[in-house]
């Protein structure tokens, strides 16, 4: 688990695309891995680092109490080029946030972030026809609020992300993982 009693919290980070009527937009999400709360997000027309930094800045602002109390944060992401940029790394370092990255291209190595992408798109965004970025931003704001405040998760005891995040509740998952990763066997 990415959270322990020494107050280490992991931030799961990813970018996903959103197909709207006029093309594609890109959503940067930063999620508290323990509570599943989206603590930072940003919608943009591009994958530029400057766009993804805005989600990080929002997360830092939302987690400022953790940073002030010397809680250790870990930023976990895939190996996207945005996360290697000098500006992005400097912002993490300036806020004493440790950097963690996936080793391979396996989505299971960033499962929480991938799951959030799927929930937001499949359960919310894909049901709407949106024509422009301004309308999309308003809808995304509403969706993130609904997700954080109204959607229970079996992985956090059927509580909402905000309930767990605000109260730092110890939870238990209510589901069983039947996925068994089998070793690769090469027959010669």
Give residue-wise pLDDT tens across range 93-120.
Answer: 999 999 998 888 777 888 999 999 999 9
Angstrom distance (rounded) from CA 160 to CA 165 = 9
Mean pLDDT taken over the chain: 87
Q: For residues 56 and 49, what is the distance between their CA atoms, to the nearest angstrom?
A: 11
The residue-averaged pLDDT of 110-137 equals: 94
Band of the pLDDT at 176, cuts 50, 70, 90?
low
Tokens for 142, please give them: 């509403």
How distant, in Å, are the alpha carbons of 16, 44, 84, 132, 180 from that of 147?
A: 17, 20, 29, 22, 29
Supply the pTM of this predicted model: 0.86
Residues in the chain: 188
Note the pLDDT tens digit of each residue in 33-75.
999 999 999 999 999 999 999 999 999 999 987 666 657 889 9
């Amino acid at each position: 688990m990415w959270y322990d009693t020494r107050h280490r919290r992991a931030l799961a980070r990813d970018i996903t695309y959103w197909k709207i009527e006029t093309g594609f937009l890109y959503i940067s999400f930063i999620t508290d891995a323990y509570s599943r709360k989206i603590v930072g997000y940003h919608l943009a027309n591009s994958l530029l680092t400057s766009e993804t930094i805005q989600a990080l800045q929002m997360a830092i602002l939302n987690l400022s109490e953790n940073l002030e109390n010397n809680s250790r944060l870990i930023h976990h992401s895939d190996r996207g080029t945005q996360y290697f940029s000098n500006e992005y790394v400097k912002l993490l370092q300036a806020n004493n946030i440790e950097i963690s990255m996936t080793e391979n291209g396996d989505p299971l190595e960033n499962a929480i972030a991938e799951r959030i992408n799927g929930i937001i798109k499949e359960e919310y965004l894909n049901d709407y026809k949106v024509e422009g970025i301004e309308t999309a931003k308003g809808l995304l704001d509403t969706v993130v609020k609904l997700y954080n405040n109204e959607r229970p998760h079996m992985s956090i005891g059927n509580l909402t992300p905000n309930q767990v995040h605000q109260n730092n509740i110890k939870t238990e998952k209510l589901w069983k993982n039947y996925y068994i990763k089998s070793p690769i066997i090469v027959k010669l």
